[in-house]
């Protein structure tokens, strides 16, 4: 027997002689031994234990081999995997320590090379294995950290958005193994709400299927969160369900948008300006966002309703108090004025451009790359339709803004947006 083979067997015995929750720490202490040959040896020893009747040890070793094989597909070296794991554990510890959000995001930003699809696989393995193998109090503490991690990473404005959302899904699903609906009704429903929000915005997979999954998850939460018992949370679920219906692809577009509007009004029925100004403003913003796209009613009237809702939201979301949400409202006002029917067309477009520029003063490429790309796409559309100024210069300006948006909306990561922008650029060139 070679020295290396002997080391493999010693490591396997160490694993079997220690609790299952220590597996990750033991493997991370011997990164030089964790490779394809070790996985093969795990499977071999596991099969021998099975034949000898030691089914518990056999199942444990074979399960571990399967999980390590899955991790091997990440194509990272043992040393890299160790670095990923150490960063992830440090990040979760800082979240547990209540480090301010800005500092958490700075930590992620400074370790962006360790925050990709490999991190997602490692988190999935660690979270699901650890949370079922520790004492209940410890499992609940880990679940809380995972929930906070999911909340933070799903809102992280930089990095790879698609992977950020996958990380959040893994975190929430692992936490649900602790927060069971039979024991923690309210907490379970809040996690379902968070999970539904992520599915609604998910990039990976079919957009249509993701939105349907989001709607089903919101409705699952509403089975236990009633207006009578949990009015505030019920309102939050209604508002987010409305957003999902506004995105919905399945079914009648007109009916989906009417359902969304009804959801927003239900949210406003429990979120008053006096008690919950932020939530009240959010629903008015949502109504201001959907009325320009409403298919029922008169278009001109819908636009005026949209502007009125957005201006109400601006009484809460001010530049001084909430610059990020103020910028979001500026974008939505830009959209409303770009397609406004009433008033002077030229002046409406100038107002639209001004609102988009206001938003861009806050949502920079460095801090908010996805919002920045969306705004450049929107302002490109306004310049394409602009009445004032030189037509040729407006067209060139429109193309320049659309090309900026393509810096973020790449073909591989955002194929739908990329295709739409490419088509718009071509139409500008051809007309």
Give, in order, the Cα–Cα distances in Å from 429 to each of 275, 384, 394, 399: 51, 11, 12, 9
Let me know if residue 245 belongs to a domain. yes
CA 152, 158, 161 angle in degrees (round to 5)?
A: 80
Residue 74 predicted with pLDDT over 60: no
- Count of domains in the chain? 3
Q: What local confidence, expressed as pLDDT, does residue 113 receive?
A: 85
Answer yes or no: do 337 and 373 share one domain. Answer: no
Pick the more confident residue, 168 or 63.
168
Is 409:390 a contact under the CB 8 Å cutoff?
Answer: no
Of residues 209, 180, 210, 181, the one with CA closest to residue 197: 210
pLDDT at 411 over 80: yes
| pTM, rounded to two decimals | 0.75
- In this prediction, residues 65-94 reach a mean pLDDT of 78
CA 256/CA 258 separation, integer angstroms? 5
Q: Domain end: 326, 357, 388, which one? A: 357
Q: Are residues 191 and 230 in the same domain?
A: yes
| Residue 50 located in a structural domain | no
The pLDDT of residue 188 is 96
* 172-228 per-position pLDDT tens digit: 999 999 999 999 999 999 999 999 999 999 999 999 999 999 999 999 999 999 999
Quote the pLDDT of residue 44: 81
User: Is 417 inside any structural domain?
Assistant: yes
Q: Is the domain of 352 the same as that of 368? A: no
- Domain shared by 349 and 377, yes or no: no
345 and 373, same domain (yes or no): no
Q: What is the pLDDT of residues 264-300, one digit of tens each?
A: 999 999 999 999 999 999 999 999 999 999 999 999 9
Instruction: Classify residue 386 by its DSSP letter.
Output: -
pLDDT digits (tens, 9 = 90+) for 6-39: 888 888 998 888 888 788 878 888 888 888 788 8
Which residue, 96, 11, 16, 95, is CA-closest to 61?
Answer: 16
Residue 157: CB atoms within 10 A of its CB come to 16
pLDDT surpassing 90 at residue 92: yes
| Structure token digits, residue 92 | 């979760």
Asked if residues 398 and 351 have their Cβ atoms less than 8 Å apart, the reply is: no
Residues whose CB is less than 8 angstroms from the CB of residue 373 and which lie 6 or more positions away in sequence, other chains included? 404, 405, 407, 408, 409, 417
Give the span between the Cα atoms of 3 and 358, in whole angstroms: 67
Q: What's the pLDDT band for 77 if we cut at 50, 70, 90?
A: low
- Do 342 and 420 lie in one domain? The reply is no
Say what angle helices 101-110 and 136-154 make with each other, to 10 degrees: 80
358, pLDDT greater than 80:
yes
Question: Do 404 and 344 sit in the same domain of this protein?
Answer: no
For residues 46-66, give the mean pLDDT: 83
The verdict on residue 25 lying in a domain is: no
Q: Which residues does 134 contact at the CB level (< 8 Å), separation at least 6?
A: 21, 142
List the structure tokens of 147. 């929930």
End of a domain among 357, 374, 409? Answer: 357
191 and 213 inside one domain: yes
294 in any annotated domain:
yes
- In the structure encoding, which two tokens stand for residue 205, read together? 């997979």
| Same domain, residue pair 374 and 415 | yes
Q: Indicate whether 338 belongs to any domain.
A: yes
Based on the domain organization, do 304 and 352 belong to the same domain?
yes
Residue whose token pair is 């379902």: 192
- Report whether 70 contacts 121 (CB < 8 A): yes
Q: What is the pLDDT of residue 72?
A: 64
Instruction: Give every CB contact of residue 346 below 8 A, 6+ residues apart in sequence.
Output: 387, 388
The answer to whether residue 49 sits within a structural domain is no
Q: Which of 46-60, 69-83, 249-263, 306-320 has the lowest mean pLDDT?
A: 69-83
**What token pair was written down for 112?**
């962006």
The range of the structural domain enclosing residue 404 comes to 363-431
Q: Determine how many CB atoms are found less than 10 A away from the CB of residue 144.
A: 16
Average pLDDT value for residue range 396-415: 92
- Place 243 in a pLDDT band, splitting at 50, 70 and 90: very high
Tell whether the model's pLDDT for residue 76 goes beyond 60.
Answer: no
Tokens of 413: 């990561």
**25-29, 372-376, 404-408: the lowest-pLDDT one:** 25-29
**Range with the poorest average pLDDT among 61-70, 76-85, 360-369:** 76-85
Q: pLDDT at residue 41 above 60?
A: yes
Q: Which of 308, 337, 357 is the last residue of a domain?
A: 357
Q: Let me know whether 372 and 420 are in one domain.
A: yes
The single-letter DSSP state of residue 97 is T
In a domain, residue 326? The reply is yes
Average pLDDT, the chain: 92
Distance (Å, rounded) from C-alpha 293 to C-alpha 254?
9
Q: Is the pLDDT of residue 75 over 60?
A: no
CA distance 315 to 318: 7
């Amino acid at each position: 027997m070679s020295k290396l083979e002997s080391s493999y067997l010693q490591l396997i015995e160490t694993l079997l002689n220690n609790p299952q929750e220590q597996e990750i720490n033991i493997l991370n202490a011997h990164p030089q031994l964790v490779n394809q040959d070790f996985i093969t040896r795990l499977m071999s020893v596991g099969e021998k234990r099975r034949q000898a009747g030691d089914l518990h040890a056999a199942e444990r070793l074979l399960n571990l081999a399967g999980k390590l094989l899955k991790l091997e597909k990440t194509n990272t070296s043992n040393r890299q995997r160790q670095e990923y794991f150490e960063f992830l554990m440090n990040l979760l510890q800082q979240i547990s320590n209540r480090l301010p959000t800005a500092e958490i995001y700075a930590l992620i930003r400074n370790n962006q090379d360790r925050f990709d699809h490999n991190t997602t696989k490692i988190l999935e393995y660690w979270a699901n294995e650890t949370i079922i193998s520790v004492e209940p109090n410890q499992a609940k503490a880990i679940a809380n950290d995972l929930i906070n991690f999911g909340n933070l990473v799903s809102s992280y404005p930089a990095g790879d958005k698609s992977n950020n959302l996958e990380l959040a899904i893994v975190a929430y699903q692992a936490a649900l193994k602790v927060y069971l609906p039979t024991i923690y009704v309210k907490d379970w429903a809040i996690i379902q709400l968070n999970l539904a929000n992520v599915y609604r915005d998910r990039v990976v997979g079919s957009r249509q299927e993701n939105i349907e999954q989001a709607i089903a998850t919101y409705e699952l939460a509403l089975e236990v969160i009633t207006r009578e018992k949990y009015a505030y949370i019920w309102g939050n679920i209604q508002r987010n369900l409305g957003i999902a219906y506004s995105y919905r692809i399945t079914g009648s577009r007109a009916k989906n948008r009417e359902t969304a509007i009804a959801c927003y009004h239900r949210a406003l029925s429990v979120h008053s300006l006096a008690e919950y100004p932020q939530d009240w403003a959010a629903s008015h913003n949502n109504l201001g966002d959907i009325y320009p796209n409403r298919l029922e009613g008169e278009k001109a009237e819908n636009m005026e309703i949209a502007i009125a809702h957005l201006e109400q939201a601006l009484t809460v979301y001010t530049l001084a108090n909430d610059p990020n949400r103020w910028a979001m409202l500026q974008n939505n006002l830009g959209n409303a004025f770009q397609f406004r029917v009433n008033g002077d067309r030229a002046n409406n477009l100038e107002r639209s451009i001004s609102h988009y520029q206001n938003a861009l003063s806050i949502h920079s490429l460095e801090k908010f790359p996805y919002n920045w790309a969306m705004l450049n796409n929107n302002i490109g559309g306004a310049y394409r339709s602009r009445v004032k100024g030189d037509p040729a210069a407006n067209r060139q300006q429109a193309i320049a803004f659309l090309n900026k948006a393509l810096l973020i909306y790449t073909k591989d990561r955002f194929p739908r947006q990329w295709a739409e922008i490419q088509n718009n650029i071509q139409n500008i060139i051809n007309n």
